[in-house]
């Protein structure tokens, strides 16, 4: 009985010491205890396993580490890192349980994780049961029993035990010398000292168990080693890519419209490809909140052309979670129209014959010609040509139809007509019909040119023909 009691006391002291060490690690050194409630990390950490973890910066995580993170739904997931992509102090992690055949559906964007530094199979069952009301009651009863076993002993009990041990060692009770030594207390004194040592060990055991239990209980958390669907299909041809963030989108204005076409490349994390993309428009190169342009499963979308410089970025939805947006790409819209110039006629207030001679240089032939220049290309050049005749009764107005003069009621032509050619343009018609001899007139040529992006330039030039 004595040996069993001593063994229990020292075992309690050892367990208490371990509990205190774990409690100190949890309370003061940034460690935590996790109890595994599922088996996707088997066989290394089966259901009921317990792990000691420590908070680690995401940038320090490497493939192969077992880490614990919070999922989007609030569950704590503890799986092994398949791949990691670091941007600044944040990392995009792809995790997979050792017992799973595919990575987690969710991709985790984190700044820090709980990295597993040690684990014990089935230790979580003990921890989980100890922290229940019945478990705490059992711990209290055990502690009480150790207290009673330690402090409920008397010196006489120790002397009896000592006498028993002396007898077992072969002392002869009939020997007067042995009896005398027993009466003088030489033997029991030694065992009384040992009894005090055992009582100290027992007190230490009780204290350590209680203190260690109280410290450890505050740092224990349950975690899921969640299973994934082994039949999930990954269909993207970009599955081998290891990009957490798409490249910055390209932007191109759509000709003859105010639409900006945006395109980007596919993104993936490990074998998990993006299921959707969102394009954001920003007014600054960094910072600020972007405006959502579109959310799509395709690799392109359009935006309405802005009046000034903007910045576009794109982010991908991978594993049910939006990852960080790409770097921003500047887009400056092309809002300048073509540059118009009149080539012929070069001089004004000339005779009709001189006017016909000037415009004879136009190619193709016509009654006026010039150029329209734009870096993006000229889509269309149009004109109106108004002739004003002034007499004693007032003014009359005529508009050129492309082949003849048509009288109008006011000093403007209502309809623009297309020139022949766009960048090198000519107002079509016969010079002899447009500029007859002996007829003085004022002319107003109005031009409108549109570039490939829908930007419009307007211009006008006046000239005259005298009656000579």
Per-residue pLDDT averaged across 136-145, rounded? 61
The lowest-confidence range among 85-99, 114-128, 130-144, 160-174 is 160-174
Q: What's the CA gap between 235 and 233, in Å, rounded?
A: 6
Q: Are 46 and 123 in contact (CB under 8 A)?
A: no
- The more confident residue out of 256 and 464 is 464
Q: Would the pLDDT of 216 be above 50?
A: no
- Rounded mean pLDDT of 326-354? 90
Can you give the pLDDT at residue 195? 53
Residue 34 pairs in a beta bridge with 51, 221
CA distances from 101 to 64, 180, 224, 270, 438 (A): 15, 79, 17, 14, 96
Rounded to an integer, the average pLDDT of 202-230 is 46
| Top-confidence residue, 85 or 362 | 362
Task: Dump pLDDT digits (tens) for 225-251.
Answer: 543 322 222 222 222 222 335 566 776
pLDDT of 198 reads 53
More confident residue, 109 or 351: 351
> Average pLDDT of 404-417?
95
pTM of the full structure: 0.44
How confident is the model at residue 240, as a pLDDT? 21
Average pLDDT, stretch 94-102? 86
* pLDDT per position as a tens digit, 349-385: 999 999 999 999 999 999 999 999 998 889 999 999 9
**pLDDT band at 448; cut points 50, 70, 90:** very high
Residue-averaged pLDDT of the chain: 75
The pLDDT of 451-465, averaged and rounded, is 91
| pLDDT for res 232 | 23
pLDDT of residue 131: 55
Asked if the 339-466 domain carries CATH number 2.60.120, the reply is no
Flag whether pLDDT at 215 surpasses 60. Answer: no
Q: Just give the CATH number of 28-128.
A: 2.10.109.10
Range 255-331 classified under CATH 3.40.50.300: no
Per-residue pLDDT reduced to its tens digit, 249-260: 776 766 656 788
Residues 29-57, mean pLDDT to the nearest whole number? 80
Contact residues for 25 (Cβ-Cβ < 8 A; gap 6+): 31, 52
Greater model confidence, 109 or 211: 109
Report how far residue 130's alpha carbon sits from residue 20's, in angstroms, rounded to the nearest whole number. Answer: 15
Residue 444's pLDDT band, with cuts at 50, 70 and 90, is very high
Mean per-residue pLDDT for 304-314? 87
Inform me whether the pLDDT recorded for 267 exceeds 60. Answer: yes
Q: What is the pLDDT of residue 223?
A: 55
pLDDT at res. 72:
75
Q: Where are the domains of the chain?
A: 28-128, 255-331, 339-466
User: Are both 28-128 and 255-331 of the same fold?
Assistant: no
Residue 238's pLDDT is 20
Least confident of 20-24, 269-273, 308-312, 406-410: 20-24
């Amino acid at each position: 009985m004595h040996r069993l009691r001593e063994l229990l006391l020292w075992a309690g002291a050892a367990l208490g010491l371990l509990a205190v060490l774990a409690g100190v690690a949890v309370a003061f050194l940034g460690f935590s205890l996790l109890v595994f409630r599922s088996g996707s990390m088997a066989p290394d950490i089966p259901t009921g396993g317990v792990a000691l973890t420590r908070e680690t910066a995401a940038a320090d995580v490497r493939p192969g580490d077992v880490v614990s993170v919070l999922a989007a739904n609030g569950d704590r997931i503890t799986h092994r890192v398949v791949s990691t992509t670091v941007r600044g102090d944040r990392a995009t992690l792809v995790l997979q349980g050792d017992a799973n055949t595919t990575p987690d559906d969710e991709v985790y964007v984190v700044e820090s994780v709980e990295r597993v530094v040690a684990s014990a199979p089935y230790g979580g069952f003990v921890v989980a049961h100890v922290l229940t009301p019945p478990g705490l009651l059992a711990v209290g009863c055990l502690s009480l029993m150790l207290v009673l076993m330690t402090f409920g002993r008397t010196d006489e009990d120790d002397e009896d035990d000592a006498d028993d041990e002396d007898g077992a060692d072969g002392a002869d009770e009939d020997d007067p010398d042995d009896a005398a030594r027993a009466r003088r207390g030489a033997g029991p004194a030694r065992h009384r000292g040992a009894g005090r040592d055992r009582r100290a060990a027992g007190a230490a055991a009780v204290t350590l168990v209680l203190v260690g239990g109280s410290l450890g209980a505050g740092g224990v958390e349950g975690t899921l080693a969640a299973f994934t669907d082994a039949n999930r299909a990954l269909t993207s041809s970009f599955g081998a890519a290891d990009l957490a963030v798409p490249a910055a989108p390209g932007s191109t204005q759509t000709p003859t419209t105010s639409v900006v076409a945006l395109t980007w490349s596919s993104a993936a994390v490990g074998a998990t490809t993006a299921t959707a993309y969102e394009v954001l428009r920003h007014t600054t190169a960094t910072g600020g909140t972007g405006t959502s342009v579109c959310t799509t499963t395709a690799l392109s979308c359009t935006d309405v052309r802005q009046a000034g410089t903007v910045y576009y970025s794109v982010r991908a939805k991978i594993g049910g979670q939006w990852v960080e947006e790409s770097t921003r790409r500047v887009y400056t819209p092309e809002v300048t129209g073509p540059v118009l110039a009149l080539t012929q006629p070069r001089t004004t207030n000339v005779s009709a014959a001189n006017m016909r001679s000037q415009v004879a240089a136009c190619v193709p032939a016509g009654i006026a010609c010039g150029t329209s220049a734009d870096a993006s290309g000229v889509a269309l050049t149009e004109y109106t040509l108004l002739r004003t005749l002034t007499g004693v009764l007032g003014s009359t107005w005529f508009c050129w139809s492309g082949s003849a003069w048509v009288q109008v009621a006011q000093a403007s032509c209502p309809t623009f007509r297309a020139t022949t050619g766009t960048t090198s343009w000519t107002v079509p018609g016969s010079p002899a019909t447009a500029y007859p001899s002996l007829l003085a007139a004022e002319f107003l040529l109005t031009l409108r040119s549109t570039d490939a992006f829908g930007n419009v330039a307007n211009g006008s030039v006046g000239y005259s023909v005298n009656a000579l």
